[in-house]
């Protein structure tokens, strides 16, 4: 399943049984290297919160899992973001930029691999976010991010959507080897990317955003 350049594609986080986040993106390219998506500043998106209005990061995880949740409309306030999803890999690579569109670093989002879906009018990818990340500066120095959060949640095995801690860390180390070697996509590719100025910024979520998650094998 390939996605045509320019098509709108939803990038969705599925946390266990629930949709936790949905971001409408634009397909920049989709080829043997992987799927490259553009998330424009100001895009409408959905984020999950507890029914008391707090987010998962506003409280201990022990508290979060005892509450009910809902998704609410939000906006992507940061500068536009490229998300690169390599094939058959349990991570995506985000290219951060400043307000002028200058590249400021990579962000390796560890996530259970993207499963694609195409409902005709709308298409997307579903990932399971694994919380642990790797921050990478333009000089390719790097550090782990959110390791404390990852460790905290692992203690709640029956509520946490990450099952295999060792697999997440191993994927992180695999990517760190690419980073240190300056291998693609950490070789300068797309750091000068400019979005097509005619792409409209999504002002709402397209119908079909709430379709069921793609079942995992």
Of 8 and 186, which has the nearer Cβ to Mg ion?
186
Task: State the number of binding residues for Mg ion (CB under 5 A).
Answer: 2
CB neighbour burial string for 191-210, b if at least 16 within 10 angstroms, e if fewer:
beeeeeeeeeebeebeeebe
Query: Is residue 133 part of the contact set for Mg ion (CB under 5 A)?
Result: yes
The distance of closest approach from Cβ of residue 110 to Mg ion in the complex, given in angstroms and rounded to an integer, is 6
Contact string 47-66 vs Mg ion (x = CB under 5 A): --------------------
Tokens describing residue 75: 């906006």
- Pick from 46, 109, 115, 122: which binds Mg ion (CB under 5 A)? 109
Q: Which of 205, 210, 199, 215 is nearest to 27 (CA)?
A: 199
Query: Is residue 112 part of the contact set for Mg ion (CB under 5 A)?
Result: no
The distance of closest approach from Cβ of residue 198 to Mg ion in the complex, given in angstroms and rounded to an integer, is 31
Options 68-76, 99-107, 126-134, 182-190: segment touching Mg ion (CB under 5 A): 126-134
Query: Is residue 126 part of the contact set for Mg ion (CB under 5 A)?
Result: no
Of residues 156-215, those binding Mg ion (CB under 5 A)? none
Tokens describing residue 57: 């990061």
Options 30-38, 72-80, 85-93, 130-138: segment touching Mg ion (CB under 5 A): 130-138
Of 33 and 145, which has the nearer Cβ to Mg ion?
145
Interacting residue ranges for Mg ion, rule: CB under 5 A: 109, 133
């Amino acid at each position: 399943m390939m996605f045509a350049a320019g098509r709108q594609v939803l990038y969705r986080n599925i946390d266990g049984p629930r949709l936790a986040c949905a971001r409408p993106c634009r397909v920049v390219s989709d080829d043997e290297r992987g799927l490259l998506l553009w998330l424009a500043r100001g895009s409408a998106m959905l984020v999950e919160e507890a029914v008391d209005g707090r987010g998962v990061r506003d409280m201990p995880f022990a508290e979060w899992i005892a509450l009910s949740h809902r998704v609410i409309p939000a906006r992507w306030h940061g500068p536009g973001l490229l998300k690169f999803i390599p094939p058959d890999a349990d991570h995506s690579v985000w290219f951060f930029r400043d307000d002028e569109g200058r590249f400021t670093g990579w962000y390796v989002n560890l996530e259970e691999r993207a499963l694609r879906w195409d409902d005709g009018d709308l298409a997307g990818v579903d990932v399971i976010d694994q919380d642990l990340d790797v921050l990478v500066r333009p000089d390719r120095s790097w550090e782990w991010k959110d390791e404390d959060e990852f460790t905290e949640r692992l203690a709640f095995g029956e509520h946490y959507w990450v099952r295999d801690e060792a697999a997440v860390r191993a994927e992180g180390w695999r990517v760190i080897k690419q980073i240190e070697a300056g291998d693609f996509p950490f070789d300068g590719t797309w750091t000068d990317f400019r979005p097509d100025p005619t792409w409209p910024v999504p002002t709402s979520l397209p119908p079909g955003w709430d379709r069921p998650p793609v079942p995992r094998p």
